[in-house]
Amino acid sequence: MRIDKFTAEQTGISRADAKALIKRRQVIVNGSPVTSGDVHIDPDNDEIIISGKHINYREHLYIMLNKPAGTVCAVKDELSPTVLQLIPEELRRKGLFPAGRLDKDTEGFVFITDDGALAHKMLSPRSHVEKEYEVTLEKPATETMKELFASGITIDGGEKCMPAEMIFTEDSHIIRLIICEGKYHQVKRMAEAAGNKVTFLKRVRIGGISLDPNLPLGECREIMHKEILNLYTKRG
């Protein structure tokens, strides 16, 4: 791979800025500064230092964000802060996007990556990747609601949902809900179709990866490659 491409991809700067860094002898390969952007390197085996920082090469980045309410799952937005703006500088790179959406007022696990193929597979309805939510309801949860969800509730507009698992908690207003699809406002519409209303929503798991309980609201952490393999398993 060309060193200017590598530098731009791994640091999130433009190819032109990467070339400028190289000119300023800020890119060191195996102990020697490179002087030209067209030098070829082996990302897996060469030791590369950019602006004094050792680069731990990853072809793709996988990030867990604990989304706060008030942010939108988009790459750009004219009106509201986006989840991408919460990514710290050391995890920024070109091509990152949120794989799947939470509503502006929903909190919790947003998966951000630059791996389009993996995101596409994860989001495909055929993959049936589980999403688990902690749902706070206006009225207490009932057995009828649990049965309706389990049999595949029909939401407004006549759309039938796939069977979903509802788990009671010790607070009658709070349930866990596990769904395997991602219709628009699905959890809120399911609650409404069952005669209730969501007052607070938080996603706590995607596939076999649970939201890190030590990750504060608004913060991110990298998901390591071996953890990513859990994305398609059922429970964390």
Which active-site residues does the annotation give? Answer: 103
Q: How far is the CB of 179 from ligand URA (least distance, A)?
A: 8
Q: How many residues bind ligand URA (CB under 6 A)?
A: 8
Residues numbered 105 to 144 that lie near ligand URA (CB under 6 A) are 106
One-letter amino acid of 47: E
In whole angstroms, give the CA distance from residue 112 to residue 104. 16
Is residue 102 close enough to count as binding ligand URA by CB under 6 A?
A: yes
**22 and 35 Cβ atoms separated by less than 8 Å:** yes
97: which strand partners?
Answer: 113
Q: How far is the CB of 156 from ligand URA (least distance, A)?
A: 12
Is residue 10 close enough to count as binding ligand URA by CB under 6 A?
A: no
Is residue 202 close enough to count as binding ligand URA by CB under 6 A?
A: no
Mark residue 116 as left, alpha or beta (left: phi above 0; alpha: psi -120 to 50; beta: remaining). Answer: alpha
Span near ligand URA by CB under 6 A; candidates 53-61, 62-70, 98-106, 139-147: 98-106
Its sign, for the CA torsion 106, 188, 160, 166, is positive
In whole angstroms, give the CA distance from residue 134 to residue 183. 17
Residues numbered 150 to 189 that lie near ligand URA (CB under 6 A) are 185-188
181 vs 222 by CB, closer to ligand URA: 181
In whole angstroms, give the CA distance from residue 224 to residue 229. 9
Q: Which residues of this protein are in contact with ligand URA, per CB under 6 A?
A: 102-103, 106, 185-188, 201
